[in-house]
Amino acid sequence: MSALALEELSAIAAIYCGREECEVLEVSETNGISFRIQTSVKGPSGTDILLKLLFHLPLSYPSSLPNISLNSEQLTKTQCLAVRARLLKEAASHLSQPMVHELVLWIEQNFQSVIEEAEIPACGGQSIPSVKTPKDDDIWTVLLHLDHMRAKGKYIKMVEKWCRDLDLAGRLMFMGKMILILLQGDKRNIKEYLILQKTSKVDVDSSGKKCKEKMMSVLFETKVQAEHRRFQAFEVKEYSTLDELQHEFEAAGFAKLFSEFVSAQLKKI
C-alpha cells in the first residue's frame, strides 16, 4: 500500500473531523483504502446540498485513479452521474499525486457550473455535455450467499440503502435457511457494495453486539450475458418452496447459475 495514500487518509481524517464528515470503511493490504466524505455545496438556487462521496484508493494509487461514487438525496440520478463524470475527469489531471482533498475542494467550488452544464437543453446544434452511463460490457452480475441474519429488519434496510446509493438492481432472496443476494450493476459499484458489506456493522452477534459480516461468500460473478434479464429495481423476496426460487432464476435467464451454484449450496444447509 502506498505511503502517500496512508498519509493522505490521515490528513483527510484530520480535515473532515466533524460528525459524519469522514468515515473510513477499509484499510487493507490487498484491497486498498475506502472511505466516505460528506460535504455541503451550494445549489443553483442557493440551497445547501449534501454530497456523499465514496472514494476507493487502489493499491497502485496515486499512480492510478481512485474509484469514485456519489450519492445525494437532493440530486437526480442524472445529476449524480454528471458530477461523478466531472470528478473523474478532474482526477485525471492530478494523476501521480494525492488528489482527494483537491477533488472535494474542486466540486465545492464548481458544483453549480457542473449541474448547469448537465441540464443544458438540446438546441441549435449546440453540443451537449454527455454523461457516460454503463454499457452492457460494464454491467456485471454477482451472486452472494449469507450464512444468517440475526437483525433481519436492520440488515435488509442497510442492503436496500446500499443498492440505492450504488444504483444496483437485483434480489435479496430468502428460502428456508438460505439467504441469497443477486446483484446487477456497474462492476465498480458492485465492488464498492462488497466492501461495504464486509466492513460495515450490519448484524449482531450471539450476544446482541453489533458485528460485521464475516460469513458472506461470492458464489458467482460474470459480465451480463445476452440471455440474462436486466433487473430494473432491487427487491426483497421470500420463497416458500424450492420450485418458486428456481422459477425466479429461470425467468431471469439464470437457469445454469441455479443448477451449478444454488443447488450445490442447498446441499450444504
Tell me, rounded to whole angstroms, the distance of Cα 104 from its chain centroid: 19
Instruction: Please list the alpha-helical segments (H only) found in 119-241.
Output: 152-165, 187-199
Share of the chain residues as helix, strand and coil, in percent rounded to the nearest 5: 40, 30, 35
CATH number for the domain including 99? 3.10.110.10
pTM value is 0.51
Point out which residues pair with 143 in neighbouring strands.
182, 220
Whether residue 164 sits in one domain with residue 114: no
Whether residue 201 sits in one domain with residue 99: no
pLDDT for 125: 35
Sign of CA dihedral 32, 35, 41, 47: positive
pLDDT for 96: 86
pLDDT for 135: 47
pLDDT for 132: 41
Q: What are the cell numbers at 87? A: 470528478
Residue 20 near residue 37, CB atoms below 8 Å: no
- Number of domain units in the chain: 2
Q: Which of 72, 77, 78, 104 is nearest to 91 (CA)?
A: 104
Q: What are the cell numbers at 127? A: 453540443
The 10 Å Cβ neighbour count of residue 66 is 22
Residue 166 near residue 259, CB atoms below 8 Å: no
Residue 128 falls inside a structural domain: no
Q: Which long-range contacts (CB under 8 A, 24 or more apart) does 260-263 make?
A: 260/220, 261/143, 261/219, 261/220, 262/143, 262/178, 262/180, 262/219
CATH number for the domain including 192? 3.30.70.100
pLDDT for 182: 92
Q: What are the cell numbers at 197? A: 458489506
Whether residue 156 sits in one domain with residue 59: no
Domain hosting 216: range is: 139-267
- C-alpha count within 13 angstroms, C-beta hemisphere, residue 116: 8
pLDDT for 269: 61
C-alpha–C-alpha distance, residues 252 and 231, integer Å: 8
Residue 143 falls inside a structural domain: yes
pLDDT for 253: 84
pLDDT for 1: 64
SS3 112: helix
Residue 132 falls inside a structural domain: no
Q: Which regions of the chain are under pLDDT 50?
A: 120-136
Q: Domain ends where: 119, 147, 165?
A: 119
